[in-house]
Structure 1
């Protein structure tokens, strides 16, 4: 009997993960998928381009929900996702990561006693002020199947007392499957595309800034951009800038004259930047790992990271938003390469592992 998986996606990292998991589901006998796009990332360069480039099936439902506070966005998504679930009656709801789309899908399903499958379960930054941390903890708690990318994630769950009984009355299953981001990086690495209008010599710095802890804190944002602007006097710094962050910078009248600003890029363009850069400087969880998969050192502008194993093996360094720490870390790590000698994230077979386990579990 065919089992129906309803997948909730809405943000850039989820599109990248779905590119390999949806393919694995399609290729697995006994599974069918309904895709719901919440609209959390609605800009063409943050959404549509990923579906086009990565061959993700066209969403069956496009909810077009974006903007507003966390509560407003999550509430609107919860209402609309519930309607879809009542119509589709899926065998499970699959969610990725830690966004508002993730939490909304998990809550809607759990209220209807539909099994929740959480891809990237067990991640913890141990900072409850981060909305992502709240989202991932709550999603884990109501999930029936917890697909963990690393042994660290499993240990995090065990320390918290998992497994519990899920919202549908079934005991939770915790499975180590590897990281689907590595699947995507390996699959699409040979298809990387240079961003249009970018003229650079190899060895530049690629940076991304989007976390609320940085963009919503004026002092932190000023410190970060000041550090990058200083560095850019002698090494090119390419900054694909989210429209919201760009507007904040304009409002603050910050001096970023030395930076090379470009529009948000698709996944294939980001892979090209990662392949040709000399260093990655970011506050993104996904980009930290993408840097590692491309063999590049990473400087992370956060106070904590959920990817602690990258810190432990020396591939990544945490600097917070301290200007001098950022500049010092960049100077020490520029041009340094890293190797995945320990196969930290499973070696690129996570999507197939997930599909096989879903067939067995549903």
Structure 2
């Protein structure tokens, strides 16, 4: 059988990588599975270089459709057109999409219109917030998917509530955790770790990228002030997108304990997270990684599509009101933050289960 795997942004490759490794493993065992890796080029990432692929043992894509830039609509249209040509030139039995980026939705639509089966990895997760483009991508993708590979029982329940047939849902676990566990012993200390005199469990990691947090300048200033004023003088390391860095600079946000650094590679970033006292973020994926590494995580959002990181893991929703930050940080320093556990099947073997189920489906 032939599988086409889709990646549109760097986090997608983290999810695709263990699936490719699992496919290669069964190929060696005699299974007749061929794959083609398609990068839509949705996000340009300077760090997606030879080093990136080598570090994580990720094969280079067979093709890059170069569909970056433009508005949401322009990007979607560009991917639709380019991937249709790609799939017509290289037909597949199954198109496998991951996550919730625009490429996920667009490539699923193309595949279905060409009567090709679609599998969605990370299916069924929901924030129920339609102001998030990712939520729309999830909903559209899941409405036309054939095989749903899920990370949690909550995702299963969401799909069943939407009328998905139970036999099409496969509860396999979390492929991002496959990548995390496979690379944990290779995490790399960033060069600035010694320069900034960082000490284990005596610094915070901050990430923010959502427009609601970084584009509303007054709120951004209040958020940064609340964080920097309530970490008891400990260093706050902020790997930052250049665009956000310019906004912060224009607001004259500075403090002796604020350290703005360039975006980090996977191995360096997760080293930083693993030894942090806590992480403050508006990301979804980071909350999964902090849960597995047992690091307290404060999420600057009013909702999450990964509720298991809260009910089971180390994550808490702080919300988008900057005034909520101090009480949350106080809990960190008082030692009353919950310990957390690891969700079921987040064990590094999700990709193996996915490939096993695909083999069972296609015989």
Considering the TM-score relative to the shorter chain, is it more than 0.5? yes
Structure 2 distance, partners of 1:47, 1:157, is 37
CA distance in 2, matches of 1:190, 1:268: 10
Q: How many pairs are equivalent?
A: 351
Name the counterpart of 1:308.
307
Residue 34 to residue 151, structure 1, CA distance change in 2 (3 Å): same
Contact 1:96/1:102 (CA < 8 Å) preserved in 2?
A: yes
CA shift at 1:48, angstroms?
5.6
Shift of 1:297: 1.2
Aligned match of 2:123: 121
Distance 1:49 1:329, change over 3 A: farther
Q: 1:194 aligns with which of 189, 198, 202?
A: 189
Pairing 1:213-232 to 2, within 5 Å after superposition: 213-231=212-230
The verdict on how the C-alpha distance between 1:75 and 1:243 changes in structure 2, with shifts beyond 3 A counting, is farther
CA–CA separation in structure 2 for the residues paired with 1:196 and 1:354: 37
Q: How does 1:12-31 map to 2 (within 5 A)?
A: 12-28=10-26, 29-31=31-33
Q: Equivalents in 1 of 2:49, 2:159: separation in Å?
A: 32
Task: Provide the aligned C-alpha RMSD in A.
Answer: 2.0
Q: Which of 59, 70, 75 is the aligned partner of 1:68?
A: 70
Distance in 2 separating the partners of 1:132 and 1:39: 17
Say if 1:223 and 1:321, in contact at 8 Å, map to a contact too: no
* Alignment partner, residue 174 of structure 1: 169
CA apart distance, 1:277: 0.5
Deviation at 1:198, TM superposition (A): 2.9
Deviation string, structure 1 residues 153-172 (Cα, Å, up to 9, x no partner): 000111122239xxxxxxx7
| Counterpart for residue 358 of structure 2 | 358
Change (3 A) 1:137 1:256: farther
Question: Whole-Å Cα distance in 1 between the matches of residues 231 and 133 of structure 2?
Answer: 31
Q: Kindly tell me: are residues 128 and 14 of structure 1, through their superposed partners in 2, closer, same or farther at Cα, counting changes over 3 Å?
A: same
Q: What is the aligned partner in structure 2 of residue 349 from structure 1?
A: 349
Q: 1:48 to 1:246 in 2, by over 3 A?
A: farther
Q: Which runs of 5+ in 2 are unaligned?
A: none
Q: What is the SS of the residue equivalent to 1:198?
A: helix
